[in-house]
Amino acid sequence: MISLLVLNGPNLNLLGQRQPEVYGTTTLAQIEALCVSSAQGLGAKATCMQSNHEGVMIDTIHEARGTHDGIVLNAGAYTHTSIALMDAISSAEVPMVEVHLSNIHAREEFRHTSHISRVAIGQICGFGPQGYVMAIDAMLEHLKARA
């Protein structure tokens, strides 16, 4: 069975409470349940994790090597600042789809730059929680094409 890691970064633990006008009212627990259900419906397994700490996220990405077939990553603000996350993804050699709840390209200028997109197979943004479902589907199609 294909195994996916769904990794969420800083402040996403506050979804449903934090800036609902930007991120909506869906909680992280609801998004994680959606990811698990969506993956199961497509014959895969999704393991979800969230951290506010860059080092923990890097360790989790490293541990994905040999454990998971793909990563769905919402790195939150680290998307725009973390070369270390980009290097971790590249080093782990596990394909990754970048996902964001909001359209980062329609927001503040500094959010338009994504360091992790350089090592992603694709980026999905602006579709709210449904973006995670789209990312899981895209990752599974990518993995099937490589098989």
**Known catalytic residue: 68?**
no
- Point out the catalytic residue in the list 78, 100, 115, 132: 100
Alpha helical stretches, state H, 1-129: 20-23, 28-41, 54-64, 83-92
Whether 100 is catalytic: yes
* 106 exposure class (CB count in 10 Å sphere: 0-12, 13-18, 19+): exposed
Q: How far apart are CA 107 and CA 120, in angstroms?
A: 21
Q: How many CA atoms lie within 13 A of 67 on its CB side?
A: 13
- Which backbone phi and psi does 58 adopt, to 5 degrees? -60, -45
Q: Which of 23, 78, 115, 132 is catalytic?
A: 23
Phi first, then psi: what are they for 13, rounded to 5°? -65, -15
**Alpha-carbon distance 101 to 30, whole Å?**
13
Positions marked catalytic: 23, 100
